[in-house]
Amino acid sequence: MAHPSAEQPLGEFALIRALQRRFARRKPALVRGIGDDAAVLAVSSRQWWHVTTDLLVEHVHFDLRTASPESVGYRAGMANLSDLAAMGALPRYSLISLAIPPSFRRPDVVRLYKGMMEACRPHGVTLIGGDTSASRSGLFLNITLIGTTARGQALLRSGARNGDLIYVTGRLGDSLAGLQLLDGATAKKRRRSTAISPAHRRYLIARHLRPTARVREGCWLNTAGLATAAIDISDGLSGDLHHVCEESGLGAELQEGAIPLSSACRAYARATGQNPTHLALEGGEDYELLFTVPPAKQTTLERQAGARGFRITCIGTMTRRRKGLRLLSQDGSRPIPITSYEHFRS
Ligand code: ADP
Ligand code: MG
């Protein structure tokens, strides 16, 4: 999509909302259209279909100088699987479209596909189509995934209630730390980041290049009826929590000390003079799930998670809308700036 106006840049989310207002229409079988991690279609009497699509653009989303074709394909597959995980859907079918520049040779395309298949095959995804074109400006990769749930059963962004507990899977901030290590963000940071151990460095880069979509966790939360809302963390904790708040008409309060961080992320933040909480709040592409749970279900949730070996952490509570998004720390409570990654914003 072209830049709408050079003088008045419209953010990605405002642009999507404007397009939605102008062109989206209701249909009887359309349970959910624009605005969630996937569209939801009531196509049969027993199932809902969940459809999600993602476009990855060379020089915007990935850099083939620091990432192999396999890892670009793998991350693309995981990013899409993560959107289905956020709906609690079981991944089923994929369509893959490519625009290939002259510099990207046939063996590179095969490597790209190997990465995508490595991500999708363990989840039983079947490739059913796509499209192929030449490109004059970099590699474009678009994946569409279709998943299913039982009819009437899905994790929407809009289901959270006041007083629900906010949980996340895994740990946050690792992917941004890994990206900064790959990019060497600034010369200064690069010099100081040598202060972290090679094991921490390898771990953070691997979390960026090879994230894990929480598909099994999403299906469990959905079928066990434990979560009221869910989203995957692709734009950063603050931005994605903001989406849940907007869709659910609520505010949220996070406990800074509860946000799960790896020791590698803490070490990296220390070495580069950054606040590790900021890496978690602002860092995108962790592909963990954020979900909300009624307090009455907390004990069952934690017991079942433990029995399944799923790492989940309670990081806060949903509040009334007028309270906005707040972070509670030892120094008191302060508003959380919405810092999610948005295209067309400098
Ligand atoms: P996610 O980060 O989960 O992939 P996005 O922020 O990309 O979600 O998209 C938010 C919503 O807007 C989704 O429902 C998506 O399908 C929709 N959307 C994004 N871009 C467009 C577009 N160009 N036209 C119509 N809908 C769009
Ligand atoms: Mg998403």
pLDDT tens digits, residue range 23-50? 999 999 999 999 999 999 999 999 999 9
Q: Quick one: which H or E segment has residue 270?
A: helix 263-272
Q: Tell me which residue has its CA closest to atom 5 in ligand 1.
A: 37
Give the closest ligand to the alpha carbon of residue 38: 1
pLDDT of 59 > 60? The answer is yes
Q: What is the average pLDDT value for the chain, to the nearest integer?
A: 93
Q: What is the mean pLDDT of residues 264-269?
A: 97
**What pLDDT, on the 0 to 100 scale, is given for residue 344?**
66
**What pLDDT, on the 0 to 100 scale, is given for residue 195?**
85
User: Are the C-beta atoms of 148 and 90 separated by less than 8 Å?
Assistant: yes
Q: Is the CB of 36 under 6 A from ligand 1?
A: yes
147 alpha carbon to ligand 2 midpoint, in Å? Answer: 14
**What pLDDT, on the 0 to 100 scale, is given for residue 93?**
98
34 alpha carbon to ligand 1 midpoint, in Å? Answer: 6
pLDDT tens-digit readout, 131-145: 999 999 999 999 999
In the sheet with 325-329, reading across from the earlier edge strand, the strands are: 229-232, 289-293, 165-169, 312-320, 250-255, 325-329, 332-335
Give the closest ligand to the alpha carbon of residue 142: 1
55 alpha carbon to ligand 1 midpoint, in Å? Answer: 10
User: Are the C-beta atoms of 291 and 221 separated by less than 8 Å?
Assistant: yes
Q: Output the pTM of the full model.
A: 0.94
Give the closest ligand to the alpha carbon of residue 340: 1
Question: 1: pLDDT confidence band, cut at 50, 70 and 90?
Answer: very low
Q: Is the CB of 24 under 6 A from ligand 1?
A: no
Q: Tell me which residue has its CA closest to atom 16 in ligand 1.
A: 34
Q: Is the CB of 11 under 6 A from ligand 1?
A: no
Q: Is the CB of 294 under 6 A from ligand 1?
A: no
- Enumerate residues 6+ apart whose C-beta is below 8 A from 271: 192, 193, 195, 196
341 alpha carbon to ligand 2 midpoint, in Å? Answer: 13
Q: What is the mean pLDDT of residues 123-133?
A: 98
User: Which numbered atom of ligand 1 lies nearest the CA of 33?
Assistant: 14
**What pLDDT, on the 0 to 100 scale, is given for residue 7?**
42
pLDDT tens-digit readout, 323-332: 999 999 999 9
212-222: b (≥16 Cβ within 10 Å) or e: bbbbebbbbbb
Q: What is the 3-state secondary structure (H, E, C) of 316-340?
A: EEEEEHHHCEEEEECCEEEECCCCC
Q: Is the CB of 30 under 6 A from ligand 1?
A: no
pLDDT tens-digit readout, 141-185: 999 999 999 999 999 999 999 999 999 999 999 999 999 999 865
- Distance CA(173)–CA(168), nearest Å, equals 12
Q: Is the CB of 256 under 6 A from ligand 1?
A: no
Strand partners, 167: 291, 314
Residue to mutate, 10, 19, 34, ligand 1, most ligand atoms under 8 Å from C-beta: 34
**What pLDDT, on the 0 to 100 scale, is given for residue 2?**
34
**What pLDDT, on the 0 to 100 scale, is given for residue 5?**
39
Q: Is the CB of 16 under 6 A from ligand 1?
A: yes
Q: Tell me which residue has its CA closest to atom 23 in ligand 1.
A: 16
Q: Is the CB of 80 under 6 A from ligand 1?
A: no
Give the closest ligand to the alpha carbon of residue 230: 2
Q: What is the mean pLDDT of residues 214-239?
A: 97
Residue to mutate, 16, 84, 234, ligand 1, most ligand atoms under 8 Å from C-beta: 16
64 alpha carbon to ligand 1 midpoint, in Å? Answer: 25
